[in-house]
Amino acid sequence: MIRFIYKRLLGAIPSIFGLSIITFLLIQLIPGNPVLTYLRVSNIQASEETVQAIRAEMGLDQPLVMQYVQWLTNVLQFDFGTSLISKRSVLDEMMLHFIPTLQLTAVAFLLIIVCSIPLGVISALHRGKWFDRMTQFFAFSSVSLPTFWLGFLLIYFFSLQLDLLPVLGKGSAAHFVLPATTLALGYIGTYLRLIRASTIEVLEEPFVLYAQARGLKERTIVWRHILKKAASPTLTGLGMSFGNMLGGTIIVENIFAWPGMGQLIVESIVNQDYPMIQACVLLLGIVFFLTNLIVDILCGWLDPRIRLAGDRIK
Amino acid sequence: MKNSSIWAVSLILMTIILSLAGCSQQDEKETAATKDDKKVFTFSWSGDIGDLNPHTYFPNEFFSQAMVYESLVYYGKDGEIKPWLAKSWDVSENGKEYIFHLRDDVKFSDGSAFNAAIVKKNFDTVLANREQHDWIELINQIKTTEVIDNYTFKLTLHNAYYPTLQELTYVRPLRFVAESAFPASMDTYKNGLTAPIGTGPWVLKEHKENEYAIFESNDNYWGEKPKVDEVVVKVITDGESRVLAFEKGELDMIFGNGVISPDSFKFLKESGKYETKISEPTATRTLLFNTNRETMSDKNIRLALQHAFDKDAVIDNIFYGIENKADTLFPQNLAYTNVEVDPYEYDVEKAKALLDEAGWKTIEGKEFREKDGQPLQLELLFISTDNIQKSIAEFVQGDLRKIGVDVKLTSQESNTFWTTAFDGNYDMLFTATWAVPFDPHSYLASITTDSSGGGPDYYALSGLSFKKELDTRIKQVLLTTTEEDRIKQYHQILTMLHEEAVYLPISYQSNIAVYKKNIMGVDFLPQEVEIPTTTIDMKD
């Protein structure tokens, strides 16, 4: 197992390296000039000399390759530079935004798991019955609801009308309920359908019949044997979603005044804050990779054939 | 099977109910704790308050800088300059020397004394970074700063620059931080402050970046103390969320310009549950015509556009009267802007006649006018995220279609918008004047300079044959020495701009305030960017 993890970790290095090169090049395609943007937000007159001076100060006068090498050398020493716009440490600013998003995503993620697994399994067991139809209706509507609309709707009912929860901001546990629900609802719909489908598939396998023949309790068969087998395809998807949620919470963050990554990324792209964009992309890349690694480990644990296959090929 | 499903469903329901109940209890406890006996006033802003350094710009917000720091003089109602940290001042005969007599009872919030030495120190650190501030002409005009005695400070200028006192009222950069706030390098621009210590009525108590800031009343304040004990500023980026938070009671007031949509304002006002107020006009929302484009260089075309645009429809349908119709580049209630000109009335027939005169003829069977086989197409540039600009743009497009002009709408994200604007790749775009205390003199001065500190106006107007003359006149008016002369020259400049029809003023912007019925003392301050935190009081 340790060997499996070790190999996966080594394998990630080229991917992350490639990712950093691609973003570095893509950033150059953003229209506009970062120096002029900086001058505008700092209220400095843009004479030719100032532009040149700032370009040199930002290191933008160097050839692209040199800029990249310089950046990489610093990053390897955990120095992500300073933001072109706020002039503060990129790492500090990024962490300031990353932690709230991570918290929100974690809560939403938990909500997805807690809701979609039982709902999915139960609807599979009751295929075609009223419960199944209800979850199906819920799944389709939750996937089709636009996030911003859903967010305002939840605020309107739970905060304004029922006065149960605070509207915005971050603070107590109560502040997590609405944004996490908004973020999770669409995913719950997706995953409950996924789990339902894979549970149905497993239900038809001979081992279920055999287990029933052995006289195992219905509950044991469903929650231990069937679920374990049905979970692996869903897990892979969940891993990807976790990464998506970390980077793509901008709308939820906006509605609920949540100080997170989405806002930071969009703002730095708009302001062409190269070091900040680069660091954010790298961070999200690493997070994506780590969640996939965890998913792989979990899948391996659920299904020994996966981890053994890797060892045997060697 | 049946048992297990019932068990699972009830477990989920229980979890949800318990978590909701637990949360709402916690919430009640929290609000009860913050409310005890203190008067805490809460409002929201779209961004963080920034690092509270009066000598820098981004990411600082004007209103928060104005809560903590004060100037030598105050910009009063109708532009009257009033004593503030300076109780009086003398101006030399030639207009080049200003002697300020400072108040002797002012202390910084850390208890240290405010005197001429600290005034000089603050001026000097700002002047050490002149190039960052030279959008303010005063910064370029200052020759020397001197301490005459403990409470007397002297400013010597290169020229008799009349807006000197007015520019001293600006929220930044000429306001004062305490000795202990200076960094080791003494350069507050490059190295920031060690702590935000000013003389103002508020002291920063707690700041959680991008979430909230809490200001408490300054015990050492020399002037009239604020009526509430604390002001909480919450960061809420979205306008609709702001409205919901206000309705929920998490905010006491919504204040500012463009902070909520006109629809939301109308909704809150008509609910009858809250008080609402609209300020006097502050700045002008206007279209700017690019005279470098061949079509737009023709005065008849610019005049035709003025007559073809139905402003009243925009005021009624988009603003519901929150912003009033504008006929001149600056609101008439500012100093020197009360110019008598004939407004361009909405007159479609006149517009059509003007286009005919300019040689753009209607062609049988075609929707748009043509000249030498070219259709009459104009490009209108606006910021993609600005819903008001987008709505107005659609009205413009509809109105001009009626006179046979094809308007192409181009929306761009704000940075790209400004790049395009400065490069001059458009026929018309949305812009706005800067409000007092910058209007009219600073805005007009920006027309004469080709820099990012100015606006796209310099380039847009450079296609006019008399641009050089206009620039000279604007530069002259800033150095006039008599009031009479100044009024005359401003009138000439503003009449010239009106007659050439290079701006199409749409509406006068205003600040709006929506607040709970227990809030008192919400009065608009003369500077658009200031929030009346000191006069606000709350009934129980």
At B480 the three-state DSSP class reads coil
Q: How far apart are the first and last CA of chain A?
A: 14
**pLDDT on residue A284:** 86
**pLDDT on residue B13:** 52
Residue B219 has pLDDT above 80, yes or no: yes
DSSP string, B30-90: HHHHHHSSS-EEEEEESS--TT--TT--TT--HHHHHHH---SEEE-GGG-EEESSEEEEE
Does A122 sit within 8 Å of B5, measured CB to CB? yes
Q: CA of A281, closest CA in chain B: separation in Å? A: 21
pLDDT, tens only, A133-148: 999 999 999 888 888 8
Nearest-CA neighbor of B173 among B139, B209, B213?
A: B139
Dihedral in degrees, nearest 10, Cα atoms A190, A192, A198, A202: 180
Q: Which residue of A has its CA nearest to B59?
A: A86
**pLDDT-based confidence at A282, cuts 50/70/90?**
confident
Q: CA of B131, closest CA in chain A: separation in Å? A: 7
Query: Phi/psi at B447 (nearest 5 deg)?
Result: -65, -25
Does A171 sit within 8 Å of B58, measured CB to CB? no
Chain A residue numbers with beta carbons less than 8 Å from the beta carbon of B418 are 40
Using an 8 Å Cβ cutoff, are A225 and A211 in contact?
Answer: yes
Residue B17 burial by CB count (10 A; 0-12/13-18/19+): exposed, middle or buried? exposed
Contacts across the A-B interface (CB distance below 8 Å): 152
Residue B298 has pLDDT above 60, yes or no: yes
Does A122 sit within 8 Å of B8, measured CB to CB? yes
Residue A65 has pLDDT above 70, yes or no: yes
DSSP 8-state assignment for residue B227:
S
Q: Which residue has the higher pLDDT, A262 or B491?
A: B491
pLDDT, tens only, B3-52: 455 555 555 555 554 454 444 444 444 444 455 678 999 999 988 898 89
Chain B residue numbers with beta carbons less than 8 Å from the beta carbon of A46 are 451-452
Residue B147 burial by CB count (10 A; 0-12/13-18/19+): exposed, middle or buried? middle
**pLDDT on residue A44:** 61
Count of helix runs (H) and strand runs (E) in chain B: 18, 23
Q: What is the mean pLDDT of residues B266-281?
A: 94
**Cα–Cα distance list, B355 to A87, B4, B300, B361, B403 (Å):** 52, 80, 7, 7, 8
**pLDDT-based confidence at B86, cuts 50/70/90?**
very high
Chain B residue numbers with beta carbons less than 8 Å from the beta carbon of A169 are 211-212, 234, 236, 250
Q: Where are the alpha helices (DSSP H) in A248-273?
A: 250-255, 261-270
- ipTM confidence score: 0.80
pLDDT, tens only, A87-142: 788 898 888 889 889 999 999 999 999 999 889 988 988 888 899 999 999 999 98
pTM across the whole model: 0.84
Q: Which helix (H) or strand (E) holds A285?
A: helix A274-302
**pLDDT on residue B32:** 43
Q: Which residue has the higher pLDDT, A30 or A189?
A: A189
**pLDDT on residue B500:** 93
Using an 8 Å Cβ cutoff, are B121 and B113 in contact?
Answer: no
Q: What is the mean pLDDT of residues A3-13?
A: 80
Residue B451 has pLDDT above 60, yes or no: yes
Q: Which residue of B has its CA nearest to A38?
A: B58
Q: What is the overall mean pLDDT for chain A? A: 83
Q: Which residue has the higher pLDDT, B176 or A237?
A: B176
Q: What is the overall mean pLDDT for chain B? A: 89
**pLDDT on residue B17:** 47
Using an 8 Å Cβ cutoff, are A117 and A145 in contact?
Answer: no
Q: How far apart are the first and last CA of chain B?
A: 58
Q: CA of B22, closest CA in chain A: separation in Å? A: 8
Report the percentage of chain B scoring pLDDT > 90: 69
Residue A179 has pLDDT above 70, yes or no: yes
Q: CA of B23, closest CA in chain A: separation in Å? A: 5
DSSP string, B362-388: --TT-SS-EETTEE-EEEEEEETT-HH
What is the spatial distance between Cα A84 and Cα B96, in angstroms, rounded to a whole number? 39
pLDDT, tens only, B44-85: 998 889 889 999 887 888 999 999 999 999 999 888 899 999
Chain B residue numbers with beta carbons less than 8 Å from the beta carbon of A170 are 211
Residue B350 has pLDDT above 60, yes or no: yes
Does B209 sit within 8 Å of A174, measured CB to CB? no
Report strand pairing: B370-371 vs B406-412: unpaired
pLDDT, tens only, A187-219: 999 999 999 998 888 888 888 888 888 888 877
**pLDDT-based confidence at A29, cuts 50/70/90?**
confident
Does A36 sit within 8 Å of B452, measured CB to CB? yes
CA atoms within 13 A on the CB side of B28: 7
Token pair recorded at residue A304: 């020994």
What is the spatial distance between Cα A142 and Cα A128, in angstroms, rounded to a whole number? 20
DSSP string, B307-357: HH--HHHHIIIIITTSSEE--SSS-TTSTT-----------HHHHHHHHHH
Does A256 sit within 8 Å of B241, measured CB to CB? yes
Query: Which among B4, B235, B238 has the least Cβ separation from residue A222?
Result: B4
Q: What is the mean pLDDT of residues B428-454?
A: 84
**pLDDT on residue B15:** 58
Q: CA of A174, closest CA in chain B: separation in Å? A: 5
Chain B residue numbers with beta carbons less than 8 Å from the beta carbon of A42 are 57-58, 132
pLDDT, tens only, A36-62: 777 766 656 566 677 777 777 777 777
